[in-house]
Amino acid sequence: MYYDSKLMKQKTLRGKGTYPEKIVRRILTDEGIKYYLNVKSLPGKPDVLIKGTKKIIIINGCFWHRHACKQSLIPSKNQSSWLRRLQYNQMRDFFVLTQLVLLGYDFIILWECEIKNNSTQFLTSLLIDFLKSDEKYSFINTKRKEQHD
Ligand SMILES: [Zn+2]
């Protein structure tokens, strides 16, 4: 099952949270996993903290968090000021993630494009793997892609 991007843009406007955030929440709810949202007591107010664990799910917009994908292309107008702003975001992200690791939290970053381009089934297994894993997920540099064949 795939999500139509136009539909997604419309849906983003309604209710709380972006569409990618809602997809993640729905997966967790469907799997019976309890969670907290936008945890104010932790650095960077992480999007999702799994109840009773030190596991965090971070849902990043590709443009604002500088994902190396098509959606993160910088507009040609005012390029240097965009770059400064986005580099600041990147540095802040790095600082926040470092703090979370030092506090003993583990995290997975889900990118907007990743959520849009993969099936719910794939995202569910990705999250289940992360929640079950004893390894430090935050240090695993994986290229996550769904296999279509
Ligand atoms: Zn992306």
Give distance in angstroms: CA of 69 to centre of ligand 1.
Answer: 5
Report how far ligand 1's centroid is from the alpha carbon of 145 (Å): 12
Residues 6+ apart with CB under 8 A from 83: 74
Report the separation in Å between the CA atom of 149 and the middle of ligand 1, taken as the mean of its atom positions. 22
The pLDDT of residue 12 is 47
In a domain, 104, yes or no: yes
Establish if 3 belongs to a structural domain.
Answer: no
Does residue 56 lie within any of the structural domains?
yes
pLDDT of residue 1: 39
Q: How far, in Å, from the CA of 67 to the mean position of ligand 1?
A: 5
Q: Is the pTM here over 0.85, yes or no?
A: no
Q: How far is the CA of 41 from the centre of ligand 1 (A)?
A: 28
Domain-located, residue 148 = no
Could you tell me the distance, in angstroms and rounded to a whole number, from the CA of residue 66 to the centre of ligand 1? 8
For residues 62-79, one letter each, b for 16 or more C-beta atoms within 10 angstroms of the residue's C-beta and e for the rest, the string is bbebbbeeeebeeeeeee
Residue 55, both tokens:
């596991």
Compute mean pLDDT per 10 residues along the chain, 149 residues long, and list them. Answer: 48 67 96 96 97 96 91 90 94 95 94 93 95 80 58
Give the structural domain span for 98: 16-132
Distance 115 CA to ligand 1 centre (A): 9
- CA gyration radius, the chain: 16
In the reported structure, the alpha carbon of residue 21 is separated from the centroid of ligand 1 by a whole-number distance in angstroms of 14
Any domain includes 27: yes
Closest CA to 64 of 45, 42, 87: 87
Q: Which long-range contacts (CB under 8 A, 24 or more apart) does 135-138 make?
A: 136/101, 136/106, 137/55, 137/106, 137/107, 137/108, 138/97, 138/100, 138/101, 138/106, 138/107, 138/108
Output the domain CATH number for residue 34. Answer: 3.40.960.10
Count of structural domains, the chain:
1
Domain contains 80: yes
Q: Is residue 101 part of a domain?
A: yes
Whether 149 is covered by a domain: the verdict is no
User: How far, in Å, from the CA of 133 to the mean position of ligand 1?
Assistant: 24
| Tokens linked to 46 | 């992480």
d(CA 65, CA 44): 13
